[in-house]
Amino acid sequence: MSISDSVSAALKKASLKQNDLAAAYGKSKQSMSMKFTRDSWFGKDLVKVAKLIGADLAFVFPDGSKIMIDTDDPDE
């Protein structure tokens, strides 16, 4: 599954749409649509998505241990 597919699934689970994400980014619908089409995501983008949908972002290892990624300020 691509990152864009994963982000779309996460938005759907949170009852949000790409337009909601575009508004949170301060971007147009068209530029957000291009981000999904090109599958061009950075780590800070995923932090913003997690914060918007109220989810945690983490590295999860096969043994079940997790390293949580701080979502307080994705621009830093």
Give yes or no for residue 7 having a pLDDT over 80. yes
Cα–Cα distance for residue pair 60/75, rounded to 1 Å? 23
The verdict on residue 74 lying in a domain is: no
Number of folded domains in the chain? 1
Q: What is the CATH number of the domain that holds 46?
A: 1.10.260
Determine, yes or no, domain membership for 65: yes
Q: pTM value?
A: 0.85
22 domain residue, yes or no? yes
- Collapsing DSSP to helix, strand or coil, 15 comes out as coil
The mean per-residue pLDDT over the stretch 29-52 comes to: 94
Residue 59 lies in a domain: yes
Please give the structure tokens belonging to residue 33. Answer: 């649509």
Stronger pLDDT, 72 or 53, i.e. the higher one? 53
> Do 53 and 14 touch, CB atoms closer than 8 A?
yes
- What residue numbers bound the domain in which 39 lies? 3-69
Decide if 10 is inside a domain. yes
Q: What is the pLDDT of residue 32?
A: 94
